[in-house]
Amino acid sequence: MSNALNRLRHLFEDDLFVRQGNSMQPTPKAQQVSRQVNTALAAIRECIGETEVFDPSVGRTFNIAGVESLDIFVLPKLIASFGELIDRIHINTFKGFDEENINRLKSGDIDLLIEHSVYRDDEIHLLPLTNVKLVCIASKHHPLAGQKLTLEQFKSLHHVVLQAADKHGLHMEQQLLEWGKGNNIVARTPHTYSMPIICAESNVVCVVPEILANMFKNQYDLVVLDIPVTLPSFQVSVLWHQSQDNDSGNRWLREKVIAAYKAL
C-alpha cells in the first residue's frame, strides 16, 4: 500500500493524504482526483450498459448529511419505511451543508445531502422536496398569546433567532436589524429544536418552520402566531453527485427520502 501511495504521490506531485490527529485526510488534490475518477467510472458503467439492480434485502449502509431537522423529521419516517429490511439497511447522518460535506458527496463518502441552500454545481443534481413556511411561536402564557399581532407589536417582542452558517436562518435577525431592533435579540442559537423549549420557559418568541411549531406546540404549551411581515421562504432539496445518478441503491434511497418528506 505504501509503495502504491508513493507512486501516486510522485505521479500527481502531491502528498494526497496527510495526517490530522489520529487519521489520514485527503488533500484538495486527492479530493479532485477522486471526483474525476468517480465521474469517469460512472461514464464507463453507462457506456457498457451496467444494469446492476439494488437488492435491499442484501443490505447496505447509506450516509446522509444536511439540515439539523433531518434527524427529527425525516429519519423516523425513513426508518419506519424500511419495514422488514430494518436489519439490512443502515443509515448514518451528518450535520451541515459545508464545503467538507460537498467534497464528501463528490467523492462518494456521502450518498445524499438534504439542505435548504440553493447550490449550483455542474456535478451536483438537485431535486426540490418541500417549501418551508415560517411562523412565530410563543408560550401560551405570553402576554400577547392568542392575539393577532400588529407589525409594531411584533417589532417590540424579544426574540431568540437561529444562527445558521448558510444565512437562511438569519432572515429574522436581518429583519430586526433593519428595523433598528437589534437589542431585541436576546439570544442566538444554532439549534432549531432548542427554540420551542426556550420559548416555553420565557417570554421570548422565535420564528421557526411551521412543521417544527406544529410538532412541539402541544408538548411545550406553545401558541403559533402568524408573522405580520413577509419573510423569505425557502425550499428544502435533496442533492446527489452525478456519478450516483444511475446507481440503483442511491435511487432507491432518494425515493425513500422523497416519500418521507411527502408524509410530513
Q: Tens of pLDDT along 166-210?
A: 555 557 888 899 999 999 999 999 888 899 999 999 999 999 989
Q: Which residue do the cell numbers 442533492 mark?
A: 239
On the question of pLDDT at 107 being above 70, the answer is yes
**What pLDDT was estimated at residue 168?**
52
pTM above 0.85, yes or no: no
**What pLDDT was estimated at residue 216?**
94
| Topology of the domain comprising 134-232 | D-Maltodextrin-Binding Protein; domain 2 (3.40.190)
Same fold across 2-129+236-262 and 134-232: yes
261: three-class secondary structure by DSSP: helix
DSSP code string of 47-80: HTT------GGG-EEEEEEE-THIIIIIHHHHHH
| Topology of the domain comprising 2-129+236-262 | D-Maltodextrin-Binding Protein; domain 2 (3.40.190)
Mean pLDDT calculated for residue range 226-248: 88
Query: Where do the domains of the chain lie?
Result: 2-129+236-262, 134-232
Calpha distance 60→72 (Å, rounded): 22
CA angle 254, 215, 221 (to 5 degrees): 170
Calpha distance 110→94 (Å, rounded): 9
On the question of pLDDT at 157 being above 60, the answer is yes
Asked which of 38-47, 146-155, 226-235 is least confident by mean pLDDT, the reply is 38-47
Dihedral sign of CA atoms 129, 250, 91, 17 in order: negative
Assign 120 a pLDDT band (cuts: 50, 70, 90): confident
Q: Tell me the CB-side half-sphere exposure of residue 145, using CA atoms within 13 A.
A: 17
